[in-house]
Amino acid sequence: MGVTMGGSILGNRVLRKEDPRFLTVGGKYVDDLLDEALLKGAAHVTYARSSVAHAKVLSIDVSDTKNMPGVIAVYTAADLGLEATPNNFNPTVARTMLASTKVRYVGEPIVAIVSETREQGEDAAETVIVDYDILPAFTDMEEALASSTLIYEEAGSNAVFDSTALGNPDFTGDEFFKDCEVVVSEKINNQRVAPCPLEVRGSAVAWVDGRLFQWLSTQHAQGCRDVLAAVNGLEAGQLRVITPDVGGGFGAKIGTYPEEQLLGILSKKVGRALRWRETRSESMVALGHGRAQVQTVTIGGTKDGKVLAYRLHVLQDCGAWLDFGTILAPFMTRPMSSGVYAIPAIECRTTSIVTNTTPTVAYRGAGRPEATAAIERAMDLFALKLGMDPVDVRRKNLIPKFDQPHTTVIGQTYDVGDYEKSLDKVLEAANYKKLREEQAKRRASGDTKQLGIGISVYVEITGGVPPMGEEAKVEVLEDGRAIVYTGTSPHGQGHETSWAMLASEQTGIPMDKIDLVWGDTDLVPVGGGTMGSRSLQQGGAAVYEMSAQLVEKAKKVAAKLLEANEADIVLDKDNAAFHVVGTPAVSKTWADLAVAAKPDGGLVHGGTLTVEMPTFPFGAHIAVVEVDTETGKVRHLRHVACDDAGKVLNPLLLEGQIHGGVAQGTAQALLEEVRYDGDGNPITSNLADYAFISAAELPSIEVVHMETPTFVNALGAKGIGESGTIGSTPAVQSAVIDAVSHLGVSHINMPTTAERVWSAIQSAKK
Amino acid sequence: MKISVTVNGKKHDSDVEPRTLLVHYIRETLGLTGTNIGCDTSSCGACTIHVDGQSAKSCTMLAAQADGSTVTTIEGLAKGDTMHPMQQAFMENHGLQCGYCTPGMVMAAIGLLDENPNPSEEDVRIGLEGNLCRCTGYHNIVQSVLSCAGKK
């Protein structure tokens, strides 16, 4: 297990505590709560959804639905008295939780059906008849922008949120590039993708003595509690959100959705506990989507490769409601537009636009992959135009190593960085020189299997979402076991293991005697959840700090028991016991102290750790692909990733995060895209049609380690949850283009499918 | 209709609706919730089990079709406190994160080695193509299977 006696456990490859349970009986996900007493006899909820993308609703007929077998009740927005609620980001945009006067995307819930079984609910949903007056549907942001047909009439425009309205400057004119000898521009599609956690959304509710209990598959119980309380007209204390095991989130389970928010109301109406679980086909159209930006990049500089000016215009697709996706462009993409480069002049404007598509949310990386993709694509285009090696152009423009905060011209302050070192590390690990030689050989011979090499260097922002800090509480019980309470919310990240490592390091209590409590708002009322790669640097750091403070508290108790001065008490971590300095033979265990402290409220300590700023992980990736020039088919041969997340707590978990991130980033570059037809009908609405990446489409991932600790927290740790996604997408896309750039191809939009690559080769021939 | 199925060594005589899927029978009738449902198109493999020694996606079978069969689910692999070598390999190689695909992935991996005890990395990748995972990037899953086959 890598535990060294007398040494620190931190930094070791510690196997996960949670695994035996997952491997032998499986996790307990929300749909597995068959034994939960409060849910005995629960009825099921099914939502009838819009089958059209944009229409006025003339009437909703549920007369047949009410008579279907097993149906307990059927509700429309009018039946429930639902009123349109204004959006947080733009109050002129408002909707009801069940569509009432208008539907705005395929999949929008319209009718709630309560039935004895799930199957009966699905059958009943088929009988709902909605009379629609069809309106033009927009799946293309520029068409939505140009049209006088508005998705939300009261908003006055389909452009609903703009960075200029936040006080950020608009573009200046052509003089912005006047000092540049070379200027290149390109319109880039950072396509819409589906987060696809393996577990879809699910929830269950029960009213207990006027309190609502809601089980929810979520990344942030405390945040959801506040929203659910407001919807149900409750005080926060009248609602208990409980998080069972969660089968992946990737950002899409940060907030709550109308289907979950309505359950408490429905349960009260029918007087029954309720369960709801969407199908995968529902999930593909009603769980939020990610990315969905159209970017126009313009980059200019000198003939020898120095970038002087960079302009980025982002159109951010909100989908049909203003969820988190709306604000990712101004608050995440724009601040990171400079990437790892010292660019003297940057202009970035973002415009968020509503369309008749599924609303967009945060998805692994959330705005930073898009910023990185834009600047990295721009760098490649600039290099190609100059005929320079993309590595040389990057090297010429990298921000030099810094260990004091550095502020880019767009106004974002980074903590620490050593970008060139990460680039050097991947070049060496990949043997870049040899790869280029192999590529030259294949080009010279006219091989139909061409080699492509893609490089990306990135920096991202983690722990940048409020609250800037986290709660932790550590309690030692009378049997010597400890319970750690955390405001973070693991769903695959391994907090049971990591937080136990941190608490064990401070207290000496063995990891197998430390349990973790999270995601239950009665037990952990305050917490920031798990998102934006914040957990270790804030939640873990809080556990580390509160554990240390608990040791100090315990020393006071030990001093009393041992009749000594508090200053003379030492903790022998190897034996998890306290003694007076110099006399280890007489000691008190944690259990002894817990018993002694019982009359005074027990041996427990908790509090909030705050941090001053986010952290900025960085790194470099090299992707190597082979492209069949006759068919356009791409094979991803190698992926070398150097992701510097500061001081590493558990390399096993760190690598797991990188692997997963690289796979999702590669999926966007090569395969995955949510697509609609011209009428706004989704055509990738299940896992047979959506090109979810599989093992067969990926190589093993070569991880190169690098640690540049941050000063922001005591652990020196930065986030690692999203880095792999951010670094990989541009590297893989770039590799595909690089494989055929000698044929005259300078850009291929993602996903770089065989069809797109083949078409690009054919167009270049003309 | 009446069916008789032996699941994890225990015989069950049940009365099921003809349209009941095997996965629903396992989860809801027998209460064995280790087997998960991840899609509705037989694409994801989260529901993979063994039927008469062969791995099968339990969402593609009716419970009625399992009449007279011997079924093993993830709950039936360990012998007491001793995990099956594949479970052990997944633990040692960090072959799981959120755990949702894991039961199906482990069952599919065992089926893969039954058919090909000595697979290459490519064999493993192609062999697990029908089991989707969103967390691990498959890297450590592939390592787990190779390690269980004694190739790492």
pLDDT greater than 50 at residue A648: yes
Give the end of a domain, one of B17, B48, B76. Answer: B76
> Least CA distance to B44: which residue of chain A?
A687
CA dist., res. A236 & res. A227, Å (int) = 9
State the DSSP code for A508.
-
State the DSSP code for A142.
H
Of B46, B77, B140, the CB nearest to A198: B46
CA dist., res. A279 & res. A121, Å (int) = 12
Q: Please indicate, yes or no, whether residues B67 and B110 belong to a single structural domain of this protein.
A: no
Give the Cβ contact number of residue A318 at 10 Å: 32
B103 CA: distance to closest CA in chain A (Å): 6
Give the end of a domain, one of B14, B42, B76. Answer: B76
Rounded (10°) angle between helices B102-115 and B85-92: 120
Chain A residues within an 8 Å CB radius of B96: 19, 22-23
CB B112 within 8 A of CB B119: yes
Helix, strand, coil distribution of chain B in percent, nearest 5: 35, 20, 45
Scan residues 572-631 of A and list those with Cβ closer than 8 Å to B.
none
- pLDDT tier for residue A466 given thresholds of 50, 70 and 90: confident
Q: In what order do the strands lie in the sheet with A577-580?
A: A569-572, A577-580, A583-589
DSSP bridge partners of A459: A618
- Of chain A, the percentage scoring pLDDT greater than 90 comes to 98
SS3 A487: coil
CB A636 within 8 A of CB A622: no
Domains recognised in chain A with CATH numbers: 33-135+198-248+253-286 (3.90.1170.50), 385-462+614-765 (3.30.365.10), 464-610 (3.30.365.10)
The arithmetic mean of pLDDT across residues A82-97, rounded, is 96
Tokens of A18: 């949670």
The torsion angles phi and psi of A351, rounded to 5 degrees, stand at -130, 120
Best of B57, B59, B77, B138 to disrupt the A interface (most A CBs within 10 Å) is B138
pLDDT in the model for residue B150: 85
Q: Please indicate, yes or no, whether residues B70 and B7 belong to a single structural domain of this protein.
A: yes
Cβ contact (<8 Å) for B135 and A492?
yes
Q: Please indicate, yes or no, whether residues B7 and B53 belong to a single structural domain of this protein.
A: yes
Print the domain residue range for B138. Answer: 85-148
pLDDT greater than 60 at residue A186: yes
Single-letter code of the amino acid located at A752: T
* Closest among A296, A254, A464, A255 to A367, alpha carbons compared: A464
Asked if A485 reaches chain B (Cβ–Cβ under 8 Å), the answer is no
Of B100, B137, B140, the CB nearest to A248: B100
Cβ contact (<8 Å) for B98 and A31?
no
Asked if B148 reaches chain A (Cβ–Cβ under 8 Å), the answer is no
- What are the pLDDT digits (tens) for A531-588? 999 999 999 999 999 999 999 999 999 999 999 999 999 999 999 999 999 999 999 9
Question: Which is it for the CA torsion A143, A149, A153, A157, positive or negative?
Answer: positive
Q: Please indicate, yes or no, whether residues B53 and B95 belong to a single structural domain of this protein.
A: no
The torsion angles phi and psi of A648, rounded to 5 degrees, stand at -95, 130
Chain A residues within an 8 Å CB radius of B27: 32
Of B34, B106, B129, the CB nearest to A695: B129
Asked if B25 reaches chain A (Cβ–Cβ under 8 Å), the answer is no
Asked if B139 reaches chain A (Cβ–Cβ under 8 Å), the answer is yes
Q: Please indicate, yes or no, whether residues B64 and B9 belong to a single structural domain of this protein.
A: yes
pLDDT in the model for residue B151: 65
Q: How far is CA A602 from the centre of its chain?
A: 38
Tokens of A527: 């917490």
Give the end of a domain, one of B53, B76, B99. Answer: B76
CB A413 within 8 A of CB A616: no
Cβ contact (<8 Å) for A197 and B98?
yes
Q: Please indicate, yes or no, whether residues B72 and B10 belong to a single structural domain of this protein.
A: yes
The arithmetic mean of pLDDT across residues A111-126, rounded, is 97
Q: Please indicate, yes or no, whether residues B66 and B7 belong to a single structural domain of this protein.
A: yes
Mean pLDDT, chain A, whole residue set: 97
The arithmetic mean of pLDDT across residues A66-70, rounded, is 98
Q: Domain of B118: which CATH number?
A: 1.10.150.120
Q: Please indicate, yes or no, whether residues B118 and B58 belong to a single structural domain of this protein.
A: no
Asked if A1 reaches chain B (Cβ–Cβ under 8 Å), the answer is no
- Number of domains making up chain B: 2
Chain A residues within an 8 Å CB radius of B8: none
Half-sphere exposure of A16 (CA within 13 A, CB side): 30
- What are the pLDDT digits (tens) for A477-530? 999 999 999 999 999 999 999 999 999 999 999 999 999 999 999 999 999 999
Single-letter code of the amino acid located at A104: R
Scan residues 274-303 of A and list those with Cβ closer than 8 Å to B.
279-281
Cβ contact (<8 Å) for A660 and B101?
no
The arithmetic mean of pLDDT across residues A317-330, rounded, is 97
Asked if A721 reaches chain B (Cβ–Cβ under 8 Å), the answer is no
Tokens of B138: 């498959």
Q: Please indicate, yes or no, whether residues B6 and B33 belong to a single structural domain of this protein.
A: yes
Find all residues with CB under 8 Å of A40, minimum gap 6, and list them. Answer: A273
Q: What is the DSSP string of A420-441?
A: HHHHHHHHHHHTHHHHHHHHHH
* Closest among A467, A419, A140, A82 to A292, alpha carbons compared: A140
Tokens of B146: 């190779």
- pLDDT tier for residue A2 given thresholds of 50, 70 and 90: very low
Cβ contact (<8 Å) for B100 and A279?
no
The arithmetic mean of pLDDT across residues A575-602, rounded, is 96
* Angle at alpha carbon of residue B17, lines to B12 and B19, rounded to 5°: 115
CA dist., res. A455 & res. A728, Å (int) = 9
Q: What is the DSSP string of A63-112?
A: HHHHTSTTEEEEE-HHHHT---EE-SS-TT-EE-SS--SEE-STT-EEEE
Q: Please indicate, yes or no, whether residues B102 and B132 belong to a single structural domain of this protein.
A: yes
Q: How many A/B residue pairs have CB atoms within 8 Å?
A: 182
Q: Please indicate, yes or no, whether residues B57 and B108 belong to a single structural domain of this protein.
A: no
Q: What is the DSSP string of B51-71?
A: ETTEEEETTSSBGGGGTT-EE
Residues of chain B with pLDDT under 70: 151-152
Q: Domain of B21: which CATH number?
A: 3.10.20.30
pLDDT greater than 50 at residue A5: no
Q: Please indicate, yes or no, whether residues B48 and B8 belong to a single structural domain of this protein.
A: yes
> How far does chain B reach from its first CA to its final CA, in angstroms?
48
Q: How far is CA A417 from the centre of its chain?
A: 23
B67 CA: distance to closest CA in chain A (Å): 23
Chain B residues within an 8 Å CB radius of A655: 94, 139-140
pLDDT in the model for residue A269: 98
Asked if B44 reaches chain A (Cβ–Cβ under 8 Å), the answer is yes
The arithmetic mean of pLDDT across residues A108-117, rounded, is 98
- What are the pLDDT digits (tens) for A188-231? 999 999 999 999 999 999 999 999 999 999 999 999 999 999 99
Q: Where are the beta strands (DSSP E) in A548-670?
A: 569-572, 577-580, 583-589, 603-610, 618-628, 634-644
